[in-house]
């Protein structure tokens, strides 16, 4: 009887050890994959393609990692999202940061206005207006001044899609972020793309333990499910 109990205990311990090693190796492989994703995102360069409307779409690899890994690899992001958005890194699900530049040209409208002050002196003001649907720039130029009062507004819409893509049909899928500005004269010049891989702290455990049964005067092997209050 005691020998059978020992065999059962050995099998239980071996099974749990195999279960632990399997999940441990899987977690290590995931950490390595995340590290490689971060390195690839940092080293990747933007690629451009033109869509059917003639607008530039900027595409770059996106990294998938845990919040802890992101904090270590991108130390400025945690402070940035807290300062700008009042969001904690642990609550962030995705992060996309794009820099862009717009270059355009067109004709400006110039209107001349003539005024006479209280002393009878005449002066002229020239109003300059440029607008192309995205940029609106106005300036008022007085013939007696060296400085022109200028005002401008720029409005645009940037759309980013995170998607998977294979380099060839049997290749490994990688995450990419593609960004598009509505202004055809604007394009993305820099981008950082991160997707948070939700990590759950595994508190529920399957355990095996050795004990002693004083009523039957024999050792025991226990197998069960529990919750780890303290991990070390």
pLDDT tens string 88-137:
888 888 999 998 888 887 788 888 888 777 777 787 888 889 988 889 99
CB count within 10 Å of CB 183 equals 20
Phi/psi zone of residue 221: left (φ > 0), alpha (ψ -120 to 50 degrees), beta?
A: beta
> Is residue 140 assigned to a domain?
yes
Total number of domains in the chain: 1
Cβ–Cβ under 8 Å, residues 223 and 207: yes
Rounded to whole angstroms, how far apart are CA atoms 141 and 110? 10
> Is residue 77 assigned to a domain?
no
Per-residue pLDDT at 232 exceeds 50: no
> Is residue 104 assigned to a domain?
no
> Is residue 43 assigned to a domain?
no
> Is residue 121 assigned to a domain?
yes
> Is residue 139 assigned to a domain?
yes
pLDDT for position 111: 86
pLDDT for position 5: 61
Q: Which helix (H) or strand (E) element contains residue 6?
A: helix 2-43
pLDDT in tens, 40-71: 999 999 999 999 988 889 999 999 898 889 99
> Is residue 192 assigned to a domain?
no
Is the entire prediction scored with pTM above 0.85?
no
Rounded to whole angstroms, how far apart are CA atoms 231 and 140? 69
> Is residue 11 assigned to a domain?
no
Q: Which residue has the higher pLDDT, 20 or 133?
A: 133
Tokens of residue 180, six digits: 């598009």
Question: Domain range for residue 137?
Answer: 109-153
């Amino acid at each position: 009887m005691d020998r059978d109990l020992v065999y059962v205990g050995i099998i239980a311990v071996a099974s749990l050890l195999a279960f632990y090693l399997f999940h441990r190796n899987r977690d290590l492989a995931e950490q390595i994959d995340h590290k490689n994703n971060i390195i690839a995102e940092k080293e990747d360069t933007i690629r451009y393609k033109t869509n059917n409307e003639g607008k530039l779409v900027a595409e770059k690899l996106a990294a998938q990692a845990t919040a802890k890994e992101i904090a270590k690899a991108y130390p400025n992001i945690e402070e940035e999202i807290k300062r700008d958005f009042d969001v904690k890194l642990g609550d962030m699900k995705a992060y996309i940061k794009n820099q862009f530049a717009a270059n355009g040209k067109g004709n400006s409208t110039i209107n001349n206005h003539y005024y006479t002050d209280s002393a009878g002196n005449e002066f002229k003001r020239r109003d300059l207006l440029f607008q192309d649907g995205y940029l609106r720039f106005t300036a008022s130029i007085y013939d007696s001044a060296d400085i022109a009062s200028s005002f401008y507004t720029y409005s645009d819409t940037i759309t980013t899609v995170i998607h998977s893509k294979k380099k060839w049909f049997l290749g490994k899928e990688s995450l990419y972020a593609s960004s598009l500005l509505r202004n055809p004269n604007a394009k993305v010049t820099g981008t950082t793309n991160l997707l948070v891989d939700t990590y759950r702290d595994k508190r529920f455990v399957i355990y095996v333990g050795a004990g002693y049964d004083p009523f039957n005067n024999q050792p025991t092997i226990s197998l069960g499910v529990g919750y780890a209050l303290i991990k070390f």
